[in-house]
Structure 1
Amino acid sequence: MNKTDSLTDFYQQKWGWLPDNLQKELGHFNVFLLDNYVGENAQEVPYKRRDFFKITFFKGSAQIHYADKAIDVKRQALVFSNPQIPYKWEGLEGVESGYFCIFNHNFFHQFGAVAEYPVFKAGGNHLFELTDEQAKNVIISFRKMQAEMQSAYLYKYDILRTQVMELIHFAMKLQPSLEIETAQGNASHRISTLFVELLDRQFPIESKGQTILRSPSEYAKQLNVHTNHLNRAVKEITGKTTSEIINERLIQEAKILLKHTDLSVSEIGYLLGFNEATYFTNFFKKQTTQSPMSFRKG
Structure 2
Amino acid sequence: MLLVIDHYSQDLIESHIDLLLNYAKRFHNRQFLTRSSVKHDMVVKMEELTDAYLKSDATLSGVPTVNYIAEKLNISPNYLSDLLKNTTGRNVQTHIPKSIVESAKELLSATNLSIKEIAYDLGFEYPQSFSTMFKKNTQQTPLQFRAAFN
Please give the range of the TM-score, normalised by the shorter of the 2 chains: 0.5 to 0.7
Name the amino acid aligned to 2:113. Answer: L
Q: d(CA) in 2 for partners of 1:185 and 1:288?
A: 30
Corresponding residue number in structure 1 for 2:58: 211
Q: Considering fraction of residues, name the structure with more strand.
A: 1
Corresponding residue number in structure 2 for 1:234: 84
Corresponding residue number in structure 1 for 2:10: none
Q: 1:289 aligns with which of 128, 139, 145?
A: 139
Name the amino acid aligned to 1:197. Answer: E
Q: d(CA) in 2 for partners of 1:216 and 1:201?
A: 15
CA shift at 1:190, angstroms? 4.6
Q: d(CA) in 1 for partners of 2:58 and 2:46?
A: 17
Q: 1:279 to 1:224 in 2, by over 3 A?
A: same
Whichever of the two has the greater Rg, that structure is 2
Number of residue pairs matched by the alignment:
112
Q: 1:185 to 1:294 in 2, by over 3 A?
A: closer
User: Higher relative CO (CA 8 A, sep ≥ 6), structure 1 or 2?
Assistant: 2
Q: 2:118 aligns with which of 243, 268, 276?
A: 268
Q: 1:183 to 1:197 in 2, by over 3 A?
A: farther
Corresponding residue number in structure 2 for 1:247: 97
1:185 aligns with 2:32: no
Unaligned runs of 5+ in 2: 1-33
Please identify runs of 4+ aligned residues in structure 1 that moved more than 4 A. none
Deviation by residue 1:210-264 (Cα, 9 ceiling, x = unmatched): 2245221221122222111110011111222122222111111111111221111
Q: CA RMSD in A?
A: 2.3
Unaligned runs of 5+ in 1: 1-181
Q: d(CA) in 1 for partners of 2:107 and 2:40?
A: 31
Name the amino acid aligned to 2:37. Answer: G
1:200 aligns with 2:51: yes
CA shift at 1:273, angstroms? 0.8
Q: Which moved more, 1:257-266 or 1:190-199?
A: 190-199
For the residue of structure 1 that corresponds to 2:131, the secondary structure is helix
When normalised by structure 1's length, the TM-score is 0.34
Q: d(CA) in 2 for partners of 1:190 and 1:253?
A: 21
Q: Considering fraction of residues, name the structure with more helix.
A: 2
Corresponding residue number in structure 1 for 2:21: none
CA shift at 1:268, angstroms? 0.1
For the residue of structure 1 that corresponds to 2:53, the secondary structure is coil
Q: d(CA) in 2 for partners of 1:225 and 1:262?
A: 38
Q: d(CA) in 2 for partners of 1:239 and 1:256?
A: 25
When normalised by structure 2's length, the TM-score is 0.64
The answer to whether the Cα contact below 8 Å between 2:51 and 2:103 also exists between their aligned partners in 1 is: no
The answer to whether the Cα contact below 8 Å between 1:189 and 1:233 also exists between their aligned partners in 2 is: no
CA shift at 1:197, angstroms? 3.0
The answer to whether the Cα contact below 8 Å between 1:284 and 1:290 also exists between their aligned partners in 2 is: yes
Q: d(CA) in 2 for partners of 1:194 and 1:235?
A: 16
Q: 1:225 aligns with which of 56, 70, 75?
A: 75
Name the amino acid aligned to 1:226. Answer: S
| Aligned sequence identity (%) | 32
